[in-house]
Amino acid sequence: MPNRSEDSRYLVPPVERALKLLRYIAEGNSCHNFSIVARDLQINRTTLIRLVHTLETHRMIEATDDQAGYRLGSGLVSLGAQAMHGRDIVRVCQPLLRSLCNQTGMSAHLGILDGRDVIYLARETPNAHLVSNIRAGSRLPAHGSSIGRAILARMPEAEINSLFAAVTLEKISPKTPQSCAQIILQAEQDRKRGFAWSEGNFESGIGSCAAVILDHTGQPAGGINVSGPQTRFARVNGNKASEISAAVLAAAEQASAALGYSQQR
């Protein structure tokens, strides 16, 4: 099979033009004169105007303070930061996920918060009949997923309000919060417990336990969890439940330490 990165048949011209424009701006060119930019990049002027409008709408570029052109936007900066952050946290957590999976016999996942969703970056699954169908790249509502709950539990109430106050929440299950006030209450309970515990809260028959990962500043960097049959998470299985939460907390603490977090901070 040909290497797509080297085969021009797989290149998408509109995307190539957008990337050329982004690199042009990144090199310090303000794009004040569209005719000059179109000539430099060998792009039709009308196409260039559409590219600029699209990139500005998505915050990939933004007008300079003096309105004399454009610079790279906050959306692109944030995207780059997420990419670097994602690489670091995945590298740190992959062996921890593997160990957690082997220790508990359940699927282990790593996720980060993106708006009101959790994006799953990595997972490890056991050789068992019932395993998680959540894969890297999956998105789940933060207020309903255990990783999202663990992250929200470490966020200020004002930040939770800004995310959910004006939003109509999807009814995932009867156990899922249906309002911002309920999300805040759930976050307070998860914070006191020290981890997020689910007995079919997101999906009937599936249990989960998650803990937050903190970065060097003490802010939530992501979350780590295990999920499996709901019976393993039933409160009557007190000892087993304690073992699960202890294993997840230990993995999250190791990940936090690897990212530079210190409890003395």
Residues 23-52 have a mean pLDDT of 93
Residues 41-64 have a mean pLDDT of 94
pLDDT greater than 90 at residue 45: yes
Q: How many CA atoms within 13 Å lie on the side-chain side of 55?
A: 27
Q: How many CA atoms within 13 Å lie on the side-chain side of 82?
A: 15
Domains of the chain: 8-72 (1.10.10.10), 80-258 (3.30.450.40)
Residues 116-171 have pLDDT tens digits of 889 998 889 887 655 566 777 788 899 999 999 999 999 999 999 998 888 888 88
Cα–Cα distance for residue pair 152/191, rounded to 1 Å: 9
pLDDT greater than 60 at residue 6: no
- 74 or 163: which leads in pLDDT: 163
The residue among 125, 104, 119, 140 whose CA lies nearest residue 221 is 119
pLDDT greater than 60 at residue 237: no
Strands 70-72, 61-63: pairing kind: antiparallel
**pLDDT cut 70: percent of the chain above it:** 89
Torsion of CA 135, 98, 92, 230, to 10 degrees: 60
- Can you say how many angstroms the Cα of residue 238 is from the centroid of all Cα atoms in its chain? 31
Residues 173-223 have pLDDT tens digits of 888 888 999 999 999 999 999 999 998 888 888 889 999 999 988 999 999
The residue among 244, 252, 243, 83 whose CA lies nearest residue 151 is 252
pLDDT confidence bin for 84, thresholds 50/70/90: low
CB-neighbour burial class of residue 166 (10 A; exposed 0-12, middle 13-18, buried 19+): exposed
At residue 2, the pLDDT reads 45
At residue 126, the pLDDT reads 84
Cα–Cα distance for residue pair 114/121, rounded to 1 Å: 12
The pTM score is 0.67
Question: In which region does residue 218 sit, left (phi positive, over 0), alpha (psi from -120 to 50) or beta (all else)?
Answer: left
**pLDDT cut 90: percent of the chain above it:** 52
State phi, psi for 111 to the nearest 5 degrees: -145, 160
- 209 or 2: which leads in pLDDT: 209
At residue 7, the pLDDT reads 63
Q: For tokens 């959306």, what's the residue?
A: 75
